[in-house]
Structures are given as C-alpha cells and as structure tokens.
Chains A and B, each alone.
Chain A
C-alpha cells in the first residue's frame, strides 16, 4: 500500500472514486447508445462483454492475490466500456474479453491497481489488440441504416471515405463504436464539465494544438474533416483525461495536451497508420511522470509569500 500525501489544505468532499466513475459511465451513455444504434446488436454485445470481462478480471485478480475486492468503485467497468467503444462494431466477441483481461490484469493490477498504472489501461489494450489482430481491428463498415443492407465494408474517413460534415458530426460514418458520433461525445463532455469530473484544459488544448498542426502541416483532409474524423475527439474527452495517467498541475496538463495533439497530427500526416490517437496519447502517458517531476503544483500559500517578499523588497 502506498500512502499519497498531498499538499494542504485537505478539503473533504463527497466525491469518491465510485461517484466519479459513475459520472463517467453516465457521460459515456450517449456515445454507447448512438454506437449501438449505428452498428447494431453486435456492438451492444461487445460493450456488455467488455464491461463484464473487466469487472470479472478485477474481481478474480483481487480475490486470488488476497486483496480487498474493489469492483464497486466502478473503475473496472469504465475501463471495460472504454475498451469496447474502441473496437469496430463487427469485432468478434472474444476481442473485448481478451482486451479487458489485458487492460485490467496486465496494465492495471500488475502495476499496483487503481492509481498506479502508468498507461491508460483501455488504450494500452487497444494498442495490443491493434498489433495482434490488425485486420480485424481495422475492418470498418458503414452503420447498418446508411445503405439499407447488413454490412458494407469500407474505409474510414481518414482512409478515403467521403462523408459530409453533418454525417461525421452525427456519427453516420464508419469507425469504432464510440468514436463515430461527435455530438454524443460532446454531450458527455458537457455533462462531465458540469459535474466537474474533468477540466476543459486537456480536451480543448489537445484539439486546438492538433488543429494548429493540421493547418501548418497541410493535411490531405480539410480542417473540418480532420477534426471530425477518426477518434481524436473521443480520445481527447475520454482517454487523455484519465486521472492516473495525465499530469497533475495545470501547466503540466497544457504541455501534455499539446504533446498529444502534435504527435497525433504527425502520425496522421507522415505515419504509416491512418489514425494516431492511440499512440499519441500513450506516448504522452509515458512522458507524464517526467512532466510531473518538472512542473510541480505550487504549494498553498507560496504565491502570497512571494508577493509579500517582493513588496518588502
């Protein structure tokens, strides 16, 4: 057990891990519903299996190692749902199971459990799935109601599929279950801001720095398409903002968010992958301890003392 000592003042609030995670789950609800609406029952099955496998893995691991079982804090459920939302809608059923097991046991628990993992579990598991089953992880198809037939396989927008800005905004494009509908993600973002679960800093700065890079680099897509395609919005709102793997101080968070945006733009422009959100955020996850080391949260009262010192001098 590690004891975390934070800087005073120690204000107590009613927030606990469970309430925060419950808010994240609520914020993910619109995205999940639109994803299921777009990609059908298989998408719903993937979400259920992802959550169930994550919670079961956490329960089994904590039981086997004699720890206190903490599945009630809902963090495993969030990880499982995030992972499932990162899969294509027609992924096989075992994929969220393997992914959730990997995320919970290898990425989270083996490094010490909640708060001690150095990379985002769901995103790392997605990276592993992508490296293991590259064909199945990039088998995109159109939402079922778009063409009136069951499944039309196609490229994503980043792979050359043409879509109107409105379709991209609403989610009627090929992609992973969670990333397609921007409007649903924004509703979730607004809810989390309202509940003060996350701050606006990382998502907004990440999107802005990406947009700036996209303009500077001269992307194949126009600006609107760049911002509305792929998983960048989903990543910025739900993945990059993970408490454990992003810096603690506001300045650190700006550095982190800018880094994410730049790396994603670089991968999209020059990389061999069409989309770079997964690796962009994972790389910045790894850099986070370094940022935290050099950009420290100012000690409470320090600013005032500095001002007084100046006035006295």
Chain B
C-alpha cells in the first residue's frame, strides 16, 4: 500500500467489504455481550468508534517512532488512554449507559478490532487515512451489532430501543436476550450477511465477464 489509498474507499471498506463483525469476525465478545438491547449496542458502537478513530490517528502519527519489537505494548498504551477517556466521559455525562455497559467499557481495550486496525492499517498509513479507516470500521461495527441487537431485542422483549413494537399480546422469546440466543442470532445474521455478499460478488464477477 505504498500509493495513497482513496479516502472514500478506505471509509467504505470498514462498513461493507471488510465489516469487522460480519467479514473479519473480530470483536465477538462485545458483539454477544451488549446486543441484548439496541441502546446498549449503539452506545458500545459509539464508544468503540471513538477509541478506534483516536487510537488509529495517534498510532499512525507515532508509527515511525515505535520500535517494531515492542509495538503491541505501545499500541495498547495508546488504546488504553482513549478507553479511559471514554470511560470517564460516559461516567460523567451518560451515567445510565455507563451503568448498563459496565465491565464492557474497560474491555474495549482488548477488543481485537482496535488492535487489528492499529496493526494492519494505522502502522502503515498516514494519520488522516488511519482516522478515516477507524471511523469506517467503527461505523461498520456499530451497524452490525445494531442489526443483531434489533433482532434480539425484538424477539426477546417485543421492543426496539425500549419502545414496544409487538404490543402486549406478544409473549417474548426470552432465550434470544440470553447468551445462547446471542450466539444463535449472531450465527444466523452472519450467515445471511455471507449469502448477500456472495450474491453481490457473483453479480460483479458476471458483469466483469
């Protein structure tokens, strides 16, 4: 990637072609843990996006200074800084979200999407492209976990973002908001995403011919 990548394609890359959840299958722990409700999923997505943009930007600036052998600890230090920032900001301004995400905010540090982007993109590209990559990846992650959260919350409580959709007659299917249901819904949405991607790839291949 010596020649400068186009910013728009870097941005779209994270949302569709290399969607962290559906294409790279990274960051599955928060994906299962916080997708029992849409609000939580969007909160987690926003927090992770903030950390991704910040850490990608800073790591890209430092990429020529960091010695290769100790790059992982260096990346982690940068990521930790931004996670701590997010945690303090949430605690100060959105305490309800802070309370419901709980342990999963500090765990953003070990979200492998962030480390993977630092390693695969930010350490090889300029700061602006890296920030855009972080933004694209973050939005892709947020969209993916929001889709899973909508399915799980709708089936498991009959609501979306706490707003009743199915009415009082619906008897919620509890298992979808429990851990096993999380794995099932994730697997099924992953399968659907794979089918859609395969179809569009086939279409492109046909057009190219």
Contacts and interface: CB of A to CB of B under 8 A. Distances in A.
A72 to B, nearest CB: 28
A136 interface: yes
B188 to A, nearest CB: 8
Nearest to A92: B171
A299 to B, nearest CB: 38
Contacts of B171: 92, 133, 136
Contacts of B180: 128, 131
Contacts of B173: 98, 132-133
Chain A interface secondary structure, helix, strand, loop or mixed?
Answer: helix
Interface string A112-148: 0000000000000000100111101000000000000
A132 B184 contact: no
Contact of B174 (A92, A98, A106, A131): A131
Interface string B169-186: 001111110101000100
A106 B185 CA distance: 11
Nearest to B191: A110
Contacts of B176: 132
Interface residues of A, number: 9
Interface residues of B, number: 9
A134 B184 contact: no
Interface string B42-74: 000000000000000000000000000000000
Contacts of A131: 174-175, 178, 180
Contacts of B175: 128, 131-132
B184 A106 contact: yes
Most B CB contacts (10 A, CB to CB) among A92, A133, A134 go to: A133
- Find the residue from A131, A132, A136 having the highest chain B CB count within 10 A: A132
Nearest to B187: A110
A302 B184 CA distance: 44
Nearest to B178: A131
Nearest to B156: A132
B115 to A, nearest CB: 32
Contacts of B174: 131-134
A106 B180 CA distance: 13
A246 to B, nearest CB: 23
A131 B173 CA distance: 8
A136 B172 CA distance: 12
Contacts of A133: 171, 173-174
Interface in B4-25: none
A133 B176 CA distance: 11
A53 to B, nearest CB: 16
A89 B181 CA distance: 26
19 contacts: A92-B171, A98-B173, A106-B184, A128-B175, A128-B180, A131-B174, A131-B175, A131-B178, A131-B180, A132-B172, A132-B173, A132-B174, A132-B175, A132-B176, A133-B171, A133-B173, A133-B174, A134-B174, A136-B171
Q: Across chains A and B, which 3 residue pairs bring their CB atoms closest together, nearest first? A: A132-B175, A131-B175, A132-B173
Given A128-B175, A131-B175, 16 more contacts: A92-B171, A98-B173, A106-B184, A128-B180, A131-B174, A131-B178, A131-B180, A132-B172, A132-B173, A132-B175, A132-B176, A133-B171, A133-B173, A133-B174, A134-B174, A136-B171
